[in-house]
A and B are shown apart, each in its own frame.
Chain A
Amino acid sequence: GQSLEQPSEVTAVEGAIVQINCTYQTSGFYGLSWYQQHDGGAPTFLSYNALDGLEETGRFSSFLSRSDSYGYLLLQELQMKDSASYFCAPNSGGYQKVTFGTGTKLQVIP
């Protein structure tokens, strides 16, 4: 089976830094993906960690610790447009399905 835990909601101030945590349990693990979804839109891919450590892509960074079954998404220099839902998604590899958790709704306030 598979389980995911993320905070349901996070509020942060524009310009600040926010970290969205994700703990997972899955049978078979190849890496952890992060997706962003704005209200009314489809999810878009943000980042992927196959190995332990930090991956940086502009203002967004993602971290993975395989031994802890834990990862996080770090958003820096928050902008109002970052208000969205963020989903972590463990990949079990190959053609296996990816199941999304309930996600974290981020609200950026002025």
Chain B
Amino acid sequence: GAVVSQHPSWVICKSGTSVKIECRSLDFQATTMFWYRQFPKQSLMLMATSNEGSKATYEQGVEKDKFLINHASLTLSTLTVTSAHPEDSSFYICSARDVPGSTDTQYFGPGTRLTVL
């Protein structure tokens, strides 16, 4: 099956710094990738839809200037949390949609656990 990787798997940073998370589709091309955030014991909350070669589409309530998304190639999307604060500590998960077909499946990366001190 399709594989999506994320890097780093966990990161601890100081308040006010920026953190970049990479999401890669390893064996397929992903025109569209999605970024989710999940707080403990809660569901996945879609943050934004990342489209290759164009600007990301952000969900309501998500600050686009704080969560910068770049989808520079068909296999790589990055999420940069700028000026991170403790409330940004969360589990960030990306997913990539396979080429539209019969299953239209999303494949998820393993997630990145961000802790802001």
Choose among B42, B43, B105 the residue that contacts A48 (Cβ–Cβ < 8 A): B105
The answer to whether B34 touches A42, judged by C-beta atoms less than 8 angstroms apart, is no
The answer to whether B46 touches A48, judged by C-beta atoms less than 8 angstroms apart, is no
The answer to whether A42 touches B93, judged by C-beta atoms less than 8 angstroms apart, is yes
Choose among B43, B49, B107 the residue that contacts A97 (Cβ–Cβ < 8 A): B49
**B31-58 CB contacts (< 8 Å) to partner A:** 31-32, 34, 36, 42-44, 46, 49, 51
The answer to whether A98 touches B106, judged by C-beta atoms less than 8 angstroms apart, is yes
Q: A97-B46, A99-B46 are in contact. Are A45 and B104 (CB under 8 A)?
A: no
Tell me if A11 counts as interface (CB < 8 A to partner B): no
Tell me if B8 counts as interface (CB < 8 A to partner A): no
Chain A residues whose C-beta falls within 8 Å of the C-beta of B36 in the assembled complex:
100
Q: Which residue of B lies closest to A105 (CB)?
A: B41
B contacts with A, residue count (CB < 8 A): 26
State A87–B95 Cα separation when bound (angstroms). Answer: 15
Chain B residues whose C-beta falls within 8 Å of the C-beta of A35 in the assembled complex:
108
The answer to whether B109 touches A42, judged by C-beta atoms less than 8 angstroms apart, is yes
State A42–B91 Cα separation when bound (angstroms). Answer: 9
The answer to whether A93 touches B108, judged by C-beta atoms less than 8 angstroms apart, is no
Kindly name the residue among A44, A50, A95 whose own CB sees the greatest number of chain B CB atoms within 10 A: A95
Q: Which residue of B lies closest to A37 (CB)?
A: B44
The answer to whether B43 touches A87, judged by C-beta atoms less than 8 angstroms apart, is yes
Q: Which 9 A-B pairs have the closest CB atoms?
A: A42-B108, A42-B111, A95-B32, A102-B43, A100-B44, A48-B103, A91-B104, A43-B108, A42-B110
A to B CB contacts below 8 Å, 6 in the list: A40-B91, A43-B95, A87-B44, A98-B34, A100-B43, A100-B46
Residues of B within 8 A of A (CB): 1, 31-32, 34, 36, 42-44, 46, 49, 51, 91, 93, 95, 97, 100, 102-111
